[in-house]
Structure 1
Amino acid sequence: MRNGALLAILLAVCAGNAVDLDTIEVWRQLAFVVVAVAAYLHGRHLPARRAWQLFLAAAVVCAGFAVAEFWVGVGMVAALALFTGLPWLAGRFRRQQAELVAAGQDRVARLQRERELVEEHAALRERARIASELHDALGHELALLSLRAGALELLPDLPQRHREAVTEVRAGAVAATDRLREVVGVLRERAAPGPPVAETVADLVERARAAGMTVTAEFPPGHLDGDVYRVVREALTNAARHAPRAPVSLRVRSERGGLEVSVSNPLPDPLDGGAPRRGTGSGLAGLRERLRDAGATLAVHDDGGRFTVTARWPATPAPGEGR
């Protein structure tokens, strides 16, 4: 219903009242009904801004007829106010009610989408965390298994058939490590903080030594941060995988009120047939992101003869167990 249509109806009613039409009183009553319906539709479907223009125009028309015949004009204005204003207000109420319902439905739908996005993001972060833990923990165990198999391979009194079996075990452990890195690389994104680790850095070093690694370690007594454990584990895993017979140096010390962890090992000489195998780097990349979220830094140095992983934590907050 446009303003022009309703204004035309109002003009017709004004004209009918201005002319002496006592012989067709029914028409006059019907006209007011039409005005009421038109006003309701106007308030129901059109913005309020346009309605004020309509009522202003209607008031001007009524004022003009009131000047021509005062008492008829006054009665007509009162009737138009009743049959136009009240239906319009009813239509306006229905419009606002419908708008509120639509806005509520939109808000519910938006909140539902946001909740689904939050749940999806939480699931992705949990999946990334599990992938990160699988890579770090299982990859470390596979690297130690490969190292043990390599040590057995070098025993001089090992029968040939056992040597071949050990070679297959070592090759399978290396292949499984590579496959694990590929799978984890697909699943991994920035992982959420992992749960506290039960094993200590001292336990980790002892297991590495028991597997045949030569590890020189210096670290303060007591519990260390869970991320310190993860740095040491990743560094030992890389050393066992890429330089299995090289000695590893581990040092954990306080520096300017903070904490520094340094793990280094010499790279095998390619002339001795010990060319290092290139990894994907996903383990160190994921560890760097984890430490960055915790306010720490991770640096990797490879000068061609020695590989060093260095992690630093700021002075505050001080690392605590189960980070």
Structure 2
Amino acid sequence: MTEHRPDRRGVAGGVALAALAALAVLNSIGADALPLWRQLVFPVLAPLAYLHGRHLRARGAGRLLVGAAALAAALVLVDVGTAATGAMLLAVFVVAPWLAGRNRRQQAELGRLAAERVARLEREQELVARSARAEERARIATELHDLVGHDLALIAVRAGALEVSAGLAPDDRHADRAAVAGIRVTATEATDRLRAALGALRDGPAGDGSLAPPHESIAALVARAASAGLAVRLDGAPDETSDLAGSLADQAAHRVVQEALTNAARYAPGAAVTVRVRRAGEDVLVEVTNTGAAVRPGPERASGGSGLLGLAERVRLVGGTFGAGPTGDGFAVRARIPAAREVA
């Protein structure tokens, strides 16, 4: 807590103004004709009173007491008959200008406070706009990672399967395999460039929005991955969660499976992958496991971890829990998602 120090300029100005006012009243009352220098006292008092009220801060009742004491002294020293005249002169040449200056100071202070408030609101609006832009950029980055990254991973898987296929013509086998290998390398490089671009784009927490809801079921997603060459199967009844189509729980489950399949294709090519999606009371349980690479892995690629982190955030936003990590012979991704929750 800070202690306010007395404004010495304000005290001195108040005392001087009060003394001049008292002197002016005493010099003007009771005289039939005033010398010119006495008549000039009041025109000088008026601007002084205005400047005192305009520029000096009035803290506390001390200044008012100084003025009141000067007025009382002036009125006591004259007789009752002339007191009214002295009070009128003080009101016209001291009080009124001082009040005018004080009013002008208050208007200026209000204007300054209003300008500060407008500037503060503008800064707050800019912060809100920056936050909204950051969240939107993070949301777009997450969607691109999930959608485009998944397709690029499937392209690499399909190219890898063709590269080791025995069905290529003997005469053209070398050239064809070189071309297929080029496709796989290109898809891998495109995935890495996409991840780098998303790292620059993502500068905030992942949002809970979506560019569009998934237009395919989990069963269709698994079938598409299998047709691309991924050794994946769906364990369980596909229609067990059909009543959740289009819900937040369905979208979250779809993205969990999609990202898990992408990671399996990227980091454990040739591994057997099992997808399990089932109801457990009011929750949806999602589990994607792989048993490790069955064929020679492709070139090593460092994982930024943004996919699993984004999945964890997405599941958390719908009220669920998420876990991912190595198992005894592979890797597992698990999520428990509330089926009834529709608001993040």
- Relative to the length of structure 2, the TM-score reads 0.83
Q: Secondary structure at the match of 2:165?
A: coil
Counterparts of residues 26-105 of structure 1 (less than 5 Å): 26-49=36-59, 52-71=61-80, 72-105=82-115
Q: In structure 2, give the amino acid aligned to 1:178.
A: D
- Report if the CA contact (8 A) 1:151-1:212 is conserved: yes
Q: In the alignment, is residue 282 of structure 1 matched against residue 306 of structure 2?
A: yes
CA–CA separation in structure 2 for the residues paired with 1:115 and 1:318:
29
Q: Displacement, 1:142?
A: 0.8
Residue 209 of structure 1 corresponds to: 226
Instruction: Work out whether residues 284 and 337 of structure 2, in 8 Å CA contact, stay in contact via their aligned partners in 1.
Output: yes
Q: Distance in 2 between matches of 1:59 and 1:116?
A: 51
Per-residue Cα deviation, 1:81-120 (whole angstroms, up to 9, x for no partner): 3322222221122112112222222222222222222222
Deviations 1:6-62 (CA, angstroms, capped at 9, x unpaired): 432432342354356655343333222222222211221223435x42332122233
Tell me which residue corresponds to 2:341: 317
Q: Equivalences for 1:248-263 in 2 at 5 Å?
A: 248-263=273-288
**CA 1:257–1:221 in structure 2 vs 1: closer, same or farther (change >3 Å)?**
closer
Q: Does 1:237 align with 2:255?
A: no
Instruction: Name structure 1 gaps, 5 residues minimum.
Output: none
SS state at 2:214 partner: coil
In 1, Cα distance between equivalents of 2:19 and 2:241: 97
Equivalent residue letter for 1:150:
G
Q: Give the 3 Å change call, closer, same or farther, for CA 99–211 of structure 1 in structure 2.
A: same
Q: For this pair of structures, how many residues does the alignment match?
A: 317
Letter in 1 for 2:133: A
Asked if 1:172 corresponds to 2:186, the answer is: yes
The Cα of 1:164 is off from its aligned counterpart by: 0.9
**Identity in percent:** 44
Asked if 1 retains the 8 angstrom alpha-carbon contact of 2:14 and 2:66, the reply is no
Letter in 2 for 1:191: A
Structure 1 length-normalised TM: 0.88
Change (3 A) 1:60 1:318: closer
Residue type at the aligned position of 2:335: A
SS in 1 for 2:107: helix
Name which of 187, 205, 210 aligns with 1:190: 205
Q: CA deviation at 1:316?
A: 4.4
